Amino acid sequence: MQVFRKFRKEVAKKVQKLVETLQRKLVEKPPNLDEQKIIIEYLVTLEVDFDPGWICLLSHYEFLSHSMKACFLQYSSNDRPREVLRTPSKYDAQVRTFCLLDFGIFRLIIIETIITQAPPTYPSQVLFIDNLCETFSTYFADFWRLSQDYFASNLPVKPDLGKQRELKVCIEFL
């Protein structure tokens, strides 16, 4: 009997360590929706005492809101030089390839030249809106998809329908 108790304690420690590791991976930034769905399934299989689907949703929300706030802080600071505020542009450096055919020895010569043009300068407000829209469009789709999967019971967790109002507040805040 003593051996089984020792074995059971050791297994319980390993399972708890696995749960902690999976919980950390569940809230990793930036979030990866496909990996998180798999982790949610693993955590449900391990019968954890928390709602991994809701924790994942909150993690997505926190990441999205933090990214948008960071974008605002980046462009609201007046002590940054103008060059730091300028986002990379398609005009920064372009490589043009010229093909020359040398008829004397019938070979193709490819010459690459880097053409630099003076990049257009945009006001910081325009750059802010551009980066904010890019951040939002990149991460909101996964957040929305995860929330729809959570409340439609497409995840292996039982949704807490009482949290729909809280999610609505989060979305309105964004």
Q: Could you tell me if residue 107 is inside a domain?
A: no
Burial (0-12, 13-18, 19+ Cβ within 10 Å), 83: exposed
CA distances from 51 to 63, 148, 157 (A): 18, 16, 7
Q: Could you tell me if residue 92 is inside a domain?
A: no
pLDDT at 111: 53
| pLDDT tens profile 69-92 | 998 888 887 555 444 444 444 444
| pTM (2 d.p.) | 0.69
Q: Which token pair is 24?
A: 């950390």
Q: Could you tell me if residue 117 is inside a domain?
A: no
| pLDDT tens profile 30-64 | 888 899 999 999 999 999 999 999 999 999 999 99
Q: Could you tell me if residue 111 is inside a domain?
A: no
Q: Could you tell me if residue 116 is inside a domain?
A: no
Print the domain residue range for 67: 2-87+123-173
Q: Find the range with the poorest average confidence among 15-19, 95-99, 138-142, 168-172.
A: 95-99
Total structural domains in the chain? 1
Structural contact between residues 99 and 70, judged by C-beta atoms closer than 8 angstroms: no
Q: Could you tell me if residue 142 is inside a domain?
A: yes
| pLDDT tens profile 116-167 | 555 567 888 888 899 899 989 989 999 999 999 999 989 999 888 899 999 9
Q: Could you tell me if residue 115 is inside a domain?
A: no
pLDDT at 113: 52
pLDDT at 79: 54
Q: Could you tell me if residue 73 is inside a domain?
A: yes
